[in-house]
Amino acid sequence: MAPGRLITWSPSVTLVPSRGCFNACGYCSFRLPLHQAIPLEPPEALAQLQRRPQALEVLLLSGEVAPGSPERRPWLGRLLALSRLALAQGRLPHTNAGPLSPREMAALARLNPSMGLMLEGLGPAYDRLHRRAPSKDLSVRLGQLQQAGRLGVPFTTGLLLGVGETQAERRQALELLAQLQRRWGHLQEVILQPWRPDGEQGRPLDRQERADLLATIALARRLLPPEVHLQMPPNLWPLEALPEALEAGIDDLGGIDGTDVINPAYPQPTPQQLERLLGCHGWRLRPRLCVHRAWWPWLPPGLRQRVQRLAVALEGPAASPAHHAC
């Protein structure tokens, strides 16, 4: 089978250190006002890890505290403590907690083999949604991606798509990411995330939305250097149409937990469902760690050795392709 027919995903568990956030993005149903948020304490975090023993990636997905506020230090302390807890449990933390100072990012990078921050997008539609979200200012986001490059942190970023932006604005955003990658080489994956409305029940993408997104995936594949993986969260795309997204250029399905804490109305497919569907279309699904193999040489020696050991545990002996009734 050609290597291009390989699709990766990361068995993951999401810990939310706090939903408290000083931003108020127009589309967010995750945040709580800072004074209402109850921080995640280590015993509860440990219980959540133990409920997902197979998840080697621990996604730390947090609301944000304003830089310079008195709560910033304990907030960072919690991220560091949860990262250490993940490592102590034989897992790998991947923190996505908004913009960080160089010192904060460097401290987390000593424990996190990879980290992430969405670019989100550029143009008036995003400006409107981010009116009350200082962290989402485009120059702040680009500065963070540069800082991660300077620090040599394997990084995940992405675009939130379908909030009213034009195809030209999508292209501009992808060109900015391509420039960053050519300069620093640290972008291991770009998530192309369809925005979906919240509610009791998810609303599937319609035909036109899908066609626009397929064009964007193909454009991203043309514009971004080939080492950058293109990621689609499989619960936000109609499962039966996933092969179309793969044909357009998606080669990674990201971290998959039992539920999606950001989009709980959109159930995650199981790895077995994905394997069966992909197998029927000639694709092979393979689990990976939060840091893609090409970026392992970037890691500090202790973290690199840990990653290498866990990869052996995750991948095991090469299995023969399964046969599926299609």
- Binding-site ranges for ligand SF4 (CB under 6 A): 21, 23-25, 28, 30-31, 63-64, 98, 133, 135
Amino acid at 298: W
In the complex, minimum distance from the CB of residue 21 to ligand SF4, in angstroms, rounded to a whole number: 3
Distances (CA, A) of 39 to 36, 43, 98, 191: 10, 12, 17, 27
> Cα–Cα distance between 249 and 228 in angstroms, integer?
11
By beta-carbon proximity to ligand SF4, the closer residue of 63 and 254 is 63
In the complex, minimum distance from the CB of residue 12 to ligand SF4, in angstroms, rounded to a whole number: 18
By beta-carbon proximity to ligand SF4, the closer residue of 24 and 322 is 24
Question: 280, 326 in Cβ contact below 8 A?
Answer: yes
> Cα–Cα distance between 131 and 115 in angstroms, integer?
25
C-alpha torsion sign, points 65, 71, 72, 78: negative
C-alpha torsion sign, points 81, 87, 88, 89: positive
> Cα–Cα distance between 90 and 54 in angstroms, integer?
10
Burial class for 117, CB neighbours closer than 10 Å (0-12, 13-18, 19+): buried
Question: 184, 150 in Cβ contact below 8 A?
Answer: yes
In the complex, minimum distance from the CB of residue 99 to ligand SF4, in angstroms, rounded to a whole number: 10
Beta bridge partners of residue 161, listed in sequence order: 194
Distances (CA, A) of 260 to 13, 26, 117, 149, 234: 10, 19, 17, 28, 11
In the complex, minimum distance from the CB of residue 212 to ligand SF4, in angstroms, rounded to a whole number: 22
Torsion of CA 183, 145, 87, 53, to 10 degrees: -100
